[in-house]
Amino acid sequence: MLAALAGWLAYHAMVFQVPVAQGYREAASLAQAHTPPGANVLISAHRDGSFIFNMRADGKRRDIGTRRADKLFVEINIMRQLGIRDRELNQDAILKILNDQNIAVVVAQTGYLADQPSMQQFERLLESGGAFSIVGRVPLRGDLRKDERELVVYARK
């Protein structure tokens, strides 16, 4: 049984190419550089798992927590195809959530879940420059979807 599993995994590793996405390590480093001790970072991107992995893999800033925008602003079941429901949040409600979650830095993929009203409000809040300002842009490279071009890193003012 174990030999069959090992053979199946080896076969898949040779036949199917694993998609590569680059830029998340740079975004994680930039986020860590702008996050005060004990604060949290919010990720809003299709490959948020890659970002979270890089935040943890670095190991230098264990004091930083990471939150996912798609868990705060919409109800999503593992992946979009399994269901999504907007939480109908306005910018004031979103800002309250960001404050309650002690979010100091936001890393956002422009247009992520852009068909959801709460995510539209979130993007408008970031673009307004009232509470957050851009501290960097990280281009994304690799086997990506067309809407995955860059990550914008915002720091709280």
pLDDT by 10s per residue, the chain, length 157:
777 767 776 776 666 665 677 889 999 999 999 999 999 999 999 989 999 999 999 878 999 999 999 999 999 876 677 789 999 999 999 999 999 999 999 999 999 999 999 999 999 999 999 999 999 999 999 887 788 889 999 999 9
Quote the pLDDT of residue 65. Answer: 96
Which pLDDT belongs to residue 5? 66
Note the pLDDT of residue 142.
82
Quote the pLDDT of residue 64: 96
The domain limits of the chain are 20-156
Provide DSSP, the chain: -HHHHHHHHHHHHHHSPPP-EESHHHHHHHHHHHPPTT-EEEEESTTHHHHHHHHHHH-S-TT-EEEEHHHHSEEE-SSGGG-EEE----HHHHHHHHHHTTEEEEEEETTTTTTSHHHHHHHHHHHH-SSEEEEEEEE-EES--TT--EEEEEEE-
